[in-house]
Amino acid sequence: MSDVTVGLTVNGRRLRVTVPARTTLADLLRDHLHLTGTHLGCEQGVCGACTVRLDELTARGCLVLAAACEGAEVVTIEGLDDPDAQRLRGAFSREGALQCGFCTPGMVLAAHDLVRRREVLTREETAVAMSGNICRCTGYNGIVRAVQSATVEGIEHDIDPEVAG
Ligand code: FES
Ligand code: FES
């Protein structure tokens, strides 16, 4: 199998990596960059465990070829560390939004995309918005509460940073 060399930015680091041409972005992250927080479940675009941010959009790492990522900016769970991510981590812990943790990196990436939009969604709307990510443990109620809670915290912080912290 032929190799390809790809230049991309991962969690703020500019890299050039040479991988077999059929390598997916998820395998590049896990096997070549040792960023194993990007999990692999179904490997066919269904479960969301491999969710990363690719050029400011959430993407399934298992469906994207590394060779297609020339010049791309990728953020994985290891590099997601802004205030919204910190609010989400706190909310996931507080609301019981994780058990085994297998789905959690993908859930947090997907949830972060919602939280940073600052849209107050109903419980049902939040559940639908998160429905691309599958969790086998929690029953989803805690995940929905965590996303709603982190969104409200973000809005409160934007209105009054002194009070909201
Ligand atoms: S491992 Fe990519 S969507 Fe399931
Ligand atoms: S916490 Fe176990 S799969 Fe979601």
The per-residue DSSP string of 76-89 comes to: -GGG--SHHHHHHH
**Predicted confidence (pLDDT) at residue 140 exceeds the cutoff of 70:** yes
Based on C-alpha coordinates, what's the Rg of the chain? 16
pLDDT band, very low/low/confident/very high, at 165 (cuts 50, 70, 90): low
40 lines ligand 1 (CB under 6 A): yes
Give the ranges where the chain is alpha helix by DSSP (H): 25-27, 83-94, 104-115, 123-129, 141-159, 161-164
Which of 25, 30, 60, 130 to mutate to test ligand 1, by most ligand atoms within 8 A of the CB atom? 60
Q: Which ligand is nearest to the CA of 64?
A: 1
Same domain, 65 and 115: no
Q: How far is the CA of 148 from the centre of ligand 2 (A)?
A: 19
Residues 145 and 100 in one domain: yes
In the structure, what pLDDT confidence band is assigned to residue 163 with cuts at 50, 70 and 90?
confident
Mean pLDDT, residues 134-159 taken together: 96
Looking at the structure of the chain, the number of domains it has is 2
Q: Are residues 92 and 63 in the same domain?
A: no
In a domain, residue 165? The reply is: no
164 within some domain: no
34-63, pLDDT tens digit by residue?
999 999 999 999 999 999 999 999 999 999
**In this structure, are 66 and 30 located in the same domain?**
yes
Mean pLDDT value of segment 16-29: 98
Find the mean pLDDT for residues 115-128: 96
Count of CB atoms situated within 10 Å of the CB of 158 = 10
The CATH number of whichever domain residue 20 belongs to comes to 3.10.20.30
Span 101-123, mean pLDDT? 97
- CB-ligand 1 contact for 155 (6 Å cutoff): no
Q: How far is CA 153 from CA 88, 120, 121, 146, 150, in A?
A: 9, 11, 13, 10, 5
User: Whole-model pTM?
Assistant: 0.95
Share above pLDDT 70 across residues of the chain, in percent, rounded to a whole number: 99
**Which residue range is the domain that position 56 belongs to?**
3-79
- Residue 89 and residue 153 in one domain: yes
Q: Does residue 67 sit within a domain?
A: yes
User: Distance (Å, rounded) from C-alpha 96 to C-alpha 89?
Assistant: 11
